Structure formats: C-alpha cells, structure tokens
Amino acid sequence: MTNQSRSSTPPVKLIPLGGLGEIGLNMMVVEYEDTIVLIDAGLMFPEEEMFGIDIVIPDFSYLRDHLNKLKALIVTHGHEDHIGAIPFLVQEFPIAIYGTSFTLALIKEKLVEHNLLGKVSLHKIEPKIPFLIDPFVIEPFRVCHSIPDGVGLIISTPVGVIVHSGDFKIDHTPIDGKPLDFARLSTYAEKGVLLLLSDSTNVEREGYTLSEKDVGKTFRDIFQTAPGRIIIAVFASNIHRIQQAVYTARQFGRKILFHGKSIQTNVRLAEELGYLEVLPEDKISLKDLPFMPDHRVVIITTGSQGEPMSALTRIAFDDHKWIKLKKGDTVILSSKFIPGNERTIHNVINNLYRRGARVIYESVEAIHVSGHAHREELKWLIGLVRPKFFIPIHGEYRHLVKHCELAKEMGIPQENCFLVEDGDVVSLWEDWAVVSSKISSGRVFVDGKGVGDVGGPVLRDRKHLAEDGLVIVSLVIDQEYRGILSGPDVFSRGFISDEMSSDIIYCAQCLTLEIFDRYLEQGITPDTGEIQREIRKELKKFFLKILGRRPLIYPIIMEV
C-alpha cells in the first residue's frame, strides 16, 4: 500500500483507555469510521496513596466526545478488572453489552444492584459463533482462565484480522474440560492475522503455568492430615477452585458452608448455569455449624487479600459473631497475594496463627496457580498466530516492555511491535501501523457516591492529613475595627499527643495574637484572606522549628 492510498483509506483505530500501564482498569476502544466497539470495562482497586478512594475507573471523556459512534461493549470475562466499571459506563451510555453466559450473569447482578438493568440490552455470545457489529465480525474463542466462560476475540475488520487474547493460560487438563481453542486460532493464522493483542500479566515468569488440577492434589494432601475444621479463602469468581474444594470435601466426608455474600452469589449463579456441581447434601448453613463435628466441616469464604470487612479478617481478629477459631483448625489462603496487599495479608496470617490455626498459603504450599500465561505460553501464542503486528496489553509498563522483547525474540520485527500506553491512538492499515496521536485519558476516582469529584489536590490533602495531622485555628474578629472578639482557639487532630498539646497550643495562640499585634503597630487593616495566609505561614514555621512536623493548618476567621 502506498502512502497516498494509506491517507485515503480509513484505518482501524485502537485506543486503550485503561489496562496498559497498570494491572486492572481494562478498556479498549476499537474504532472504524462511525463505529466504536469497546472491549471490557474494568476497574482498578486503589493504590496505597489513594486515601479514602473506593475504586478507580477509566476516564470516559473520549466516549463522551464520540457518543454517536458508540455501538457495543464486548466483555471477555467476569473479573472485576474487566466488568467493574460497567455500572458507571451504563449510567452515561445505554450501550448494548455482549458476553458469555456466566459473564452476563455477573454483569446482571451488578446492574440490578445499581438499579440499571432496564437501561441496557444484554446479548449472549458463544465460542465459535461469529456475530456482527457492522463493520466488524467478531468470533469469540474459548480460553482457560481462573473464572469460567472466558473468551478471547477474533475480530475481522475492513483492514484485516485482529486477535485479542483476553486473559488466558494454557491448561491441558482444565477442571471444566474446555481447553483453549487451538484449532480456531490456527485456522485464522493460516489465513493471516494482522494484529495480536496479548495478555502480559505473567511475562516475567519463566516456563508454563501449572494446571488447576495441581491445586486439587494439594487440597487432598491437606484434607488428609487436617484434624479439625478447614477454612478456605478464595476469590469468589474462582469457580474452578471452589469446585475442587467441593470434590475434595465430598471425598473426605466433609460438609461445606459457603460463607459471605459474594461467595454465595457466585456459587448460586454457577450452579444455575451448570458451571458448578454441588449436591444438596454437600451443604450446611451457618445455623448447622455448632452441631457439626469439626473434622466434618469445610468453610469456603472470601478474605484471601485481607480485606478489612471480610469474614476471614473478622475471624482472624476474633471479631466474627458465629465463627471462632480453635486449635486444630486449618486455614487455606488459596490465591495469589496481590501486590500492595502483602502487609495486610501478613497481619491476618499472624493473627490466625495467634488463635492456634495452621495456616497454608502460596509461599509455603502449591495452593494456588495463576490464571495468566507464563513466558513459554506467551511465546506459543505468538508462534501459533504469527501476527504481522503485535501490541502487549494487560500489564504494568515493565510487563509491556518485556512482552515486546519476547515478541521480537519470536521473529516479529521491532518496527512492528508497539509499546502502547493508555490514551495512545494506534492507526492500523492492511500493511502498516503507527501510533498516530494521543487522546485525553486517565483515572477517575470513585469515593462513596461521588464519581470524579475527588482529584489530585484532595488526595494530596488527605495524604498530608494522614501523615502530618491537622491544626485548626479559630477566631472571631470585629468586622469594622478588625480587632479580636473571641479566640484564638487552636485544635489539633493526629498531630500531637494530649500530654504535649497544652504547651504547644498555648504557644500557637500567642503567635496568632502576635500577628494581629504587628498589624496594629503598623496601622494596617488586613483583610481576612491576608490574615489567614499569615497565620498559616507563621504557624508552619513554628511547628517545623519546634517539632520538625508539617501539619495541615486551617485558619477559620468569622467576622461579626
């Protein structure tokens, strides 16, 4: 294709709005002329410095600016980093949503919870059955992951075929008997694939991901030697892990208590759709627990990440109303420690040990396997698909860099590997691709019912408060003569102890009075804003000199 024909032929544009440069927040725009299709709409959980933030979602500004083009959202699977932003998306955009059975069931629960179900249409998709969102023909293909019903996408576009891997691993012995569909990928590879978008999460890990069935072997070893109750903490979406726990409990004559709202909801949905097989006689309720012998009980719950309100955390800190740990209990944390959660999880583990439990987690037993492909599997996908162009997705920046390097090792030319971040616009023609521009993108903070109303300045203040505390100076001045009628009163929170406060506060009061005296001596009548700035400046210097601390200083001046 010549440069002239490139300029006259519309490209397909790919624009990541999230997920390229961080773990989570996955959202990809696929655009051709007057059509935009979204792939996934995920959230990210707040990082350590995001004080008070509940969740983080992608910035939808680009979608608002191109509202008339927005046709559909296709969801690859039901993890929060792929569906968590859907309620916020649907509030603004009444978009058609496409997903597999279990994925749609999870989305429907979210929409019901937010009273949004009537605003969208839900469309079930199935592997190997193409569907049309003009001009795109999209064929889902089966992948293995740590949640049922995950798919990748083969997207036939006017310029060529794009393969989106979704989150995947290669498991030749999956629990549900449905391995990744090598055949469909091979068929399209023979015809020619223009672009591969591939999951980068585990690119730093050598070799192959272990099979989910390996966890079942570990479960059996633990069950064989556990004298008392067994408590298993898992992600509520990991239905295959829950199924293995059910099979093992049944094998050893134990009954199962599913505990926690998200576990109970996901188990119910998975049972209804046939993704989980639990017999009525396998289950007990919380009221049955006191009457069951310990060696016949398994409790499956959430809390493997040390979430403050989870059942496992409350059990660990002896704050659970119904479940109290005993010596002889075994607690299994059957998940990976998500980076950033280590300290919280370790606190939970330490407290579980204090209560006499035996605790098993990933670093001491093979109790978890990843749902993401390791390096050899990533190389296999590149080798099978043989794309002309390559873009790593789903990962922090270092993951994307290493995945690009891996693609080059697999024979893709350096100029055909694109290291793309959120907001980059990739323009794609039949034989040419380029990062053509950059659009406004970013993160939107959700705090309670507020969406996007908390930004950088508020977070900086929260960080300041958390690290240094707060000092409030309150006084009343005469509006006409500018003299002090009441105060100054000085209050502090999170700044100094009660034992130290009286002397320090008295000095702060005196310093505030001195500021007013200086104005009187000079015959100046300052306005309220000037007085506030001067109080803030002088107290800042004072606290730094005396205590080496920098509290947030907030003067309040009332005029009467």
- The residues annotated as belonging to the active site are 199, 372
Whether 427 contacts 419, CB under 8 Å: no
Say how far apart CA 278 and CA 268 lie, in whole Å. Answer: 10
As given in the structure block, the two tokens for residue 552 are 């947030």
Beta strands in 61-159 (DSSP E): 70-74, 96-99, 122-124, 131-133, 136-142, 151-157
Residue 273 is given by DSSP the state: H
Contacts of 135 (CB under 8 A, 6+ apart): 32, 33, 35, 157, 158
Say how far apart CA 383 and CA 393 lie, in whole Å. Answer: 17
Q: Long-range contacts made by residues 435-440, C-beta under 8 angstroms, separation at least 24? A: 436/11, 436/13, 439/15, 439/61, 439/62, 440/59, 440/61, 440/62
Beta strands in 461-502 (DSSP E): 470-477, 484-493
Say how far apart CA 245 and CA 520 lie, in whole Å. Answer: 78
In 3D space, the residue among 233, 203, 173, 180 whose CA is nearest the CA of residue 419 turns out to be 203
Residue 479's CB is within 10 A of a number of other CB atoms, namely 11
Indicate the Cα dihedral angle 518, 523, 529, 530, nearest 10°: -50
Q: Say how many Å lie between the first and final Cα of the chain, rounded.
A: 77
Ordered alpha helix ranges (H), 355-394? 375-385
